[in-house]
Amino acid sequence: MDLHKEIYIPKPSPHDPDNNGHFGSVENGQVGFGGRFVPETLMPALEQLRLDYEAVRFDEDFWKEVDYYYKNYVGRPSSLYFAENISKELDAKVYLKREDLNHTGAHKINHCVAQAILAKRLGKKKIIAETGAGQHGVATATVAALFGLECEVFMGAKDVARQELNVFRMKLLGAKVHAVESGSKTLKDAMNDAIRHWVTHARDTYYLIGTVAGPHPYPMMVRDIQSIIGWEAKAQLDVVEGCLPDKVIACIGGGSNALGIFNHFLQDESVECIGIEAGGEGLDCKHGCSLEKGSPGVLHGQLSYLLQDEDGQVQEAHSISAGLDYPGIGPEHAFLKDENIVTYDHITDDEAMDAFVWLSQSEGIIPAFESSHAVAYLKKMKPEDVKGKTILVNLSGRGDKDMIQAQDILSDKFN
């Protein structure tokens, strides 16, 4: 298969949710994860979006247009790189899927391009998005500029203050940034405000969600779009190794780069997919482990695992990497965890920083702090689980955005 010629079109997945967006069967009076937990006034807009997406989901014309921008604007297919030096060190074959080489430096541009093309086709004039640290906001502002759409980004006031550079990037790209002053002034409040804004503007506005979360159809749609990562990697690995990987590893914030690389391997019995949550300062301290330490609850219009206190108040997540500190997780991951289809584990801030330095100095590749969590897992696994194995790691993004923070944390080490 020549990936430079081939066009990616999603395929139905055995884990597709039902028409109400529930993953998994309805048992013992329990509903599946996902769904649409939004104000009644948003239901028509979401149902319309579900139908609009169903209409393009397997449509060659739509994906041809997406493919044009993937190849000419984003730089796809992204390379699958055999990491020689760490492979030698670990006595394994480690392949890195280089989403860090995409335009704007991460996998987020994939779903932004495809959703912006959908928005344009639906005749929308404006896109809105929420953002935590600003990475999704920047990717959204980028495609808004590309496709001539108006763009408004909702961001917690606290995040606006601590992520100055990304706020400037968004403004430079022509977007308007709303500093959200309610609640804890962070991501979850930005999400609430974006949903609230959409309620009254759904007619001409497309809400561009930045991960496999939110009300149906977003989790399925973003998963379909990001699955190009695993689709490419599977074909690329087949050319060089002629086999499937033994393990596929990815970090998890909301879960889009992970589902993107896992999706085409979930039916392969011999492949173990491993999702890595942010262990932060440790599991009895501050962290972002919604699956390992959370419980089912509603956030962002979906039922999924969630970090919450006894009263059901959403707790703030913590991770050294801004992209992983989301208190929830995409509902399909909640389903895959409960069904034992995917393995989930965590990596702490310190372990991630070690891996950040390790990959930089072993391969000359500076990973994003988020991606460093996936890389770190190569060292957390038992040596016998690594030795002689073919391991695919999703390098979701590059570390440029993390340089100032890295300099601060590592100043003792490199003075």
- Which residues of this chain interact with ligand PLP, rule CB under 6 A? 106, 108, 135, 211, 251-258, 323-324, 368, 370-371, 396-397
Q: Which is nearer to ligand PLP, 35 or 255 (CB)?
A: 255
Shortest Cβ 232–ligand PLP spacing (Å) = 16
Point out the residue whose Cβ comes nearest to ligand PLP: 397
Rounded Cα–Cα distance for residues 26 and 321 (Å): 35
Using DSSP's 3-state secondary structure scheme, residue 91 falls into coil
Shortest Cβ 253–ligand PLP spacing (Å) = 3
CB contact at 8 A, 350 and 380 = no
In b/e form, how buried is each residue of 278-293, taking b as 16+ CB within 10 angstroms?
A: bbbeeeeebbbbbbeb
> Of 78, 99, 124, 130, which is the active-site residue?
130
Rounded Cα–Cα distance for residues 78 and 98 (Å): 6
> Of 93, 97, 108, 401, which is the active-site residue?
108
Q: Which is nearer to ligand PLP, 140 or 256 (CB)?
A: 256
Rounded Cα–Cα distance for residues 279 and 317 (Å): 10
Q: Which is nearer to ligand PLP, 226 or 390 (CB)?
A: 226
Rounded Cα–Cα distance for residues 179 and 158 (Å): 8
DSSP string, 245-284: -SEEEEE-SSSHHHHHHHGGGTT-TTPEEEEEEEEET-TT
Shortest Cβ 319–ligand PLP spacing (Å) = 10
Q: Is 130 a catalytic residue?
A: yes
Q: Is 396 a catalytic residue?
A: yes
Q: Is 108 a catalytic residue?
A: yes
**How many C-beta neighbours within 10 Å does residue 25 have?**
10
Angle at 73 between CA 69 and CA 77, to 5 degrees: 80
HSE (side-chain half, CA atoms, 13 Å) at 56 = 24
Residue 350, H or E segment: helix 349-363
Q: Which is nearer to ligand PLP, 254 or 294 (CB)?
A: 254
CB contact at 8 A, 353 and 319 = no
Q: Which residues contact 109 (CB under 8 A, 6 or more apart)?
A: 74, 102, 103, 139, 142, 143
Residue 303, H or E segment: strand 302-306
Q: Which is nearer to ligand PLP, 95 or 262 (CB)?
A: 262
Q: Which is nearer to ligand PLP, 15 or 136 (CB)?
A: 136
Shortest Cβ 206–ligand PLP spacing (Å) = 19
State the catalytic residues.
108, 130, 396
